[in-house]
Amino acid sequence: MRLICDEMGGCVQIGIDISRLATAQRTGTERYTWEVLAGMATTPGDNDYWLYCRTLPAELPVFAGRMQVRVMPFARLWTHIRLAWELWRQPPEVLFVPSHVLPWNVRLVRGMRVVTTVHDLGFLHFPQAHTRFQNIYLRLTTWWAAWAADTVIAISQATAEDLVRYTGVDRRRVVVIPHGVAPVFTPSAKKPMPWVRYMVYVGTLQPRKNLARLIAAFACAHTHPDTQLVIAGRAGWLSEPLAEIARAHGVADRVHLIGFVPDAELPALLAGARAFVFPSLYEGFGMPVLEAMASGVAVLTSNTSALPEVAGDAACLVDPTDVDAIATGISRLDGDDAYHAHLVAKGVQQAQRFSWAGCAATTLAVLRGEQ
């Protein structure tokens, strides 16, 4: 790996694609980008940061090094036309793309190293959870990212193994850097909620998240009469008619679809829950699992993909394709106080193993060629 810092640890020109931050509703990839940027911003170092975007985000961290925000409006194909042209015109020493979609010309720009993050390969495991166009798009962009980047950051060992298995990328070019958990997620964030006793799911509403089975399991679980199921998130690809599914199972009055929850309100929603239920079919990491654990909430999640890696022995792990298994887990979390307390304590300990500061520091070391 070529070092781009001099022997004295001098200035490094780091270009970062921050285009995904220009959204009012941050989900996984956008939150990852923000947290890594914020962590880099507070890390001392003599670096030049060139931040590329189509429109200016509402807020950005202030970097300890020199920072230029390059707003480059362009109607369509911004990455492959406008960003690609900027890299021709004035390439940085290293380009970092946190969302894996690399410009077509990155291998042709001389003297520029390329680092990208691949978050998951769920489209290969569950192609039916995506549209035909999205399946083609994700396959092409992920393959190109794996082969065009000098270093690929995978957010879990499971994602790294998927990358090697499905793209054939050299494992030595893949670096595993797990997500962190923000300090705002704490039991003390608890505030009064509209529901006295509730279990909560947080994430995008799409088939891969397995919400139809979650609702079916909740309907047949043995729970306290006051226990509600709160589902928070915006609709994604091929989102299902969850309200109709709840009605069909006779729990429409106990299932609450509350839409997207802003970052500022999420810690309180998690901290007030009896349990966090996340029986996803596939995750490249599972950031909400850690956030719930840090909030002092017992967690039920799947025994597949990266979720056991993230949850460790601090969650109730279930087969996400087995409604009865999910229902049994829900019943135990709601009715077994000793088991519930055990998972809460283990979860807080597990969450402490992950930090955004560590994630950002390791990512910066990779960008500087030091790792």
We report the CATH number of the domain holding residue 281 as 3.40.50.2000
Give the confidence band of 229 by pLDDT, cuts at 50, 70, 90.
very high
Shared-domain flag, residues 30 and 42: yes
- What is the share, in percent, of the chain residues with pLDDT greater than 70? 96
Instruction: Please say whether the beta carbons of 133 and 152 come within 8 A.
Output: no
2 part of a folded domain:
no
Say yes or no: 334 and 213 in one domain: yes
The predicted structure's pLDDT at residue 43 = 82
Quick one: 108 and 231 in the same domain? no
Give domain status of residue 4, yes or no. no
Q: Measured between alpha carbons, how far is 77 from 56 in angstroms, rounded to an integer?
A: 17
In whole angstroms, give the CA distance from residue 299 to residue 306. Answer: 15
Answer whether residue 343 shows pLDDT above 60.
Answer: yes
Query: Do residue 162 and residue 20 come from a single domain?
Result: yes
Tell me whether residue 3 is in a domain: no
The pLDDT tens digits for 112-146 are: 999 999 999 988 988 887 788 989 999 999 999 99
Clarify whether residues 156 and 265 are in a common domain.
no
What average pLDDT does the segment 96-123 reach?
A: 94
Domain that holds residue 224: 187-351
Average confidence score pLDDT of the chain: 92
Q: Residue 4 pLDDT > 60, yes or no?
A: no
> Residue 312 falls within a domain, yes or no?
yes
Q: Are 43 and 90 in a shared domain?
A: yes
C-alpha–C-alpha distance, residues 12 and 47, integer Å = 5
Nearest alpha-carbon partner for 277 in 312, 226, 327, 313: 327
* pLDDT for the residue numbered 1: 31
The verdict on 152 and 296 lying in the same domain is no
What is the Cα gyration radius of the chain?
Answer: 21
Rounded Cα gap, residues 136 and 139, in angstroms: 5
What is the side-by-side strand order in the sheet with 113-118? 66-71, 47-53, 12-17, 94-97, 113-118, 151-154, 174-176
Q: Is 5 contained in some domain?
A: no
In a domain? residue 61: yes
Note whether 298 and 174 are same-domain residues: no
Same-domain status, 191 and 80? no
Cα–Cα distance list, 154 to 148, 233, 244, 309, 358 (Å): 15, 25, 37, 13, 15
pLDDT at 237: 66
Residue 279, pLDDT above cutoff 60 = yes
pLDDT at residue 256 is higher than 90: yes
How far is 357 from 43, CA to CA, in rounded Å?
9
Q: In the structure, what pLDDT confidence band is assigned to residue 63 with cuts at 50, 70 and 90?
A: confident
Whether 316 has a pLDDT exceeding 80, the answer reads: yes
CA 201 – CA 292 distance, rounded (Å): 10
In this structure, are 344 and 230 located in the same domain? yes
Residues 37 and 152 in one domain: yes
Report the pLDDT value the prediction gives residue 23, as an integer from 0 to 100.
76
- Is 329 found in the same domain as 304? yes
Q: In the structure, what pLDDT confidence band is assigned to residue 278 with cuts at 50, 70 and 90?
A: very high
Show the DSSP H helices in the chain as ranges: 28-41, 84-89, 122-125, 132-148, 157-167, 211-220, 242-248, 266-271, 287-294, 307-311, 323-335, 337-351, 356-367
Rounded Cα gap, residues 143 and 145, in angstroms: 5
Q: Does some domain include residue 6?
A: no
Band (pLDDT 50/70/90 cuts) for residue 300 is: very high
pTM (whole model) above 0.95: no
For residue 68, list its beta bridge partners: 50
Number of domains in the chain: 2
